[in-house]
């Protein structure tokens, strides 16, 4: 379960965004349209409602996923002797489908199927009126699977990708270091060979500056950098280490939860997001009752009133 959570919640979205950033670097007109959609909403904080409005960004993501699906092939087992389209198989046979190939079929996507064109996801050319994403059958675009096995995290994945892409593009221009077309590798989770190496305008990308010596035959060692010199993660008070055997919420030893840091990131994001917008006022003044079941909870949940904070 944990492995599935890590792989499905992290690797496919990062792979999809990597390809989108490269595609945008090759298509300035698309990037400019995307920025026109993002920039007016940045000041509002890229909350849930703002992210929902970003239809052009979703079209860009869908187009990147069509051309470079994170899961380029998958298999199922036939439940009957005949597939829904009439193809005869034997019950229990392994049936493989190929989203990467399907995304490049002319009979599905037209003669321009090899081209990156986000506008194909709209019913009409986006213009003055609000563009509307057209419904596309998941059996034609099976990146998130289809039918009863459709990915339940689909919309969350789009929200995550919209947030990250919007945050990055509003601050940086992505300039790939190499002019060569990257190589697509269709492994369990497809990826770009070597990743997308990029720099920003006028600055050279030099990862080796973070090592004490030039990496060579010996294993390179990252040199310590004072946080006040490199304040990306801020500087100041440092959390003291607590032994997991003293605080075993995430277990300890070889069985320690591998999703601990991801869990903290998610919780910090949601807590910060809620508290920055709302004041939480419990309805009851009584101390809630803790119920230690398989997953502990508060009896009856936490009933609250919310008061929107004034934006200064």
Binding-site residues for heme = 151
Cα 80 to Cα 85: distance, rounded to the nearest angstrom: 12
Annotated binding-site residues read 151
The DSSP symbol for 140 reads T
Q: Which two tokens stand for residue 71?
A: 């899961």
Enclosing H/E stretch for 176: strand 175-176
Radius of gyration of the chain (CA): 24
Is-contact 222 211, C-beta < 8 A?
yes
Cα 271 to Cα 103: distance, rounded to the nearest angstrom: 39
Cα 154 to Cα 260: distance, rounded to the nearest angstrom: 23
Judged on CB neighbours under 10 Å (0-12, 13-18, 19+), 56 is: buried
Neighbours of 11 (CB within 10 A): 17
Cα 261 to Cα 297: distance, rounded to the nearest angstrom: 22
Cα 209 to Cα 282: distance, rounded to the nearest angstrom: 51
Residues 6+ apart with CB under 8 A from 14: none
- Give which of 305, 255, 258, 300 is closest to 282, Cα–Cα: 305
Q: Which two tokens stand for residue 124?
A: 């009409």
- CA torsion sign for 275, 276, 277, 278 is positive
Angle, alpha carbons 249-253-258 (nearest 5°): 65
Neighbours of 164 (CB within 10 A): 16
């Amino acid at each position: 379960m944990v492995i599935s959570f890590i792989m499905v919640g992290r690797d496919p979205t990062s792979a999809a965004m990597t390809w989108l950033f490269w595609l945008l670097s090759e298509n300035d007109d698309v990037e400019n349209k995307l920025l026109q959609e993002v920039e007016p909403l940045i000041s509002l904080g890229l909350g849930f409602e703002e992210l929902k409005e970003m239809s052009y960004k979703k079209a860009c993501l869908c187009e990147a996923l069509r051309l470079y699906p994170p899961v380029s092939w998958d298999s199922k087992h036939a439940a009957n002797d005949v597939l829904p389209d009439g193809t005869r198989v034997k019950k229990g046979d392994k049936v493989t489908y190929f989203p990467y190939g399907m995304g490049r079929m002319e009979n599905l996507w037209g003669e321009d199927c090899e081209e990156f064109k986000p506008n194909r996801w709209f019913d009409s050319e986006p213009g003055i009126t609000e563009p509307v994403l057209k419904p596309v059958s998941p059996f034609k675009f099976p990146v998130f699977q289809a039918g009863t096995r459709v990915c339940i995290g689909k919309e969350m994945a789009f929200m995550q990708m919209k947030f990250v892409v919007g945050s990055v593009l509003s601050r940086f221009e992505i300039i790939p270091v190499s002019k060569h077309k990257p190589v697509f590798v269709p492994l369990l989770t497809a990826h770009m060979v070597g990743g997308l190496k990029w720099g920003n305008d006028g600055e050279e990308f030099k990862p080796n500056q973070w090592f004490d010596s030039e990496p060579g035959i010996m294993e390179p060692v990252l040199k310590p950098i004072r946080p006040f010199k490199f304040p990306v993660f801020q500087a100041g008070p440092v959390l003291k280490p607590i032994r997991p055997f003293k605080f075993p919420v995430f277990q300890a030893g070889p069985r320690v939860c591998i999703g601990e840091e991801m869990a903290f990131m998610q919780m910090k994001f949601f807590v910060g997001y809620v508290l920055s917008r709302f004041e939480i006022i419990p309805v009851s003044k009584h101390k809630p009752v803790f119920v230690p079941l398989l997953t502990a909870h508060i009896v009856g949940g936490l009933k609250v009133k919310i008061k929107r904070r004034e934006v200064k």
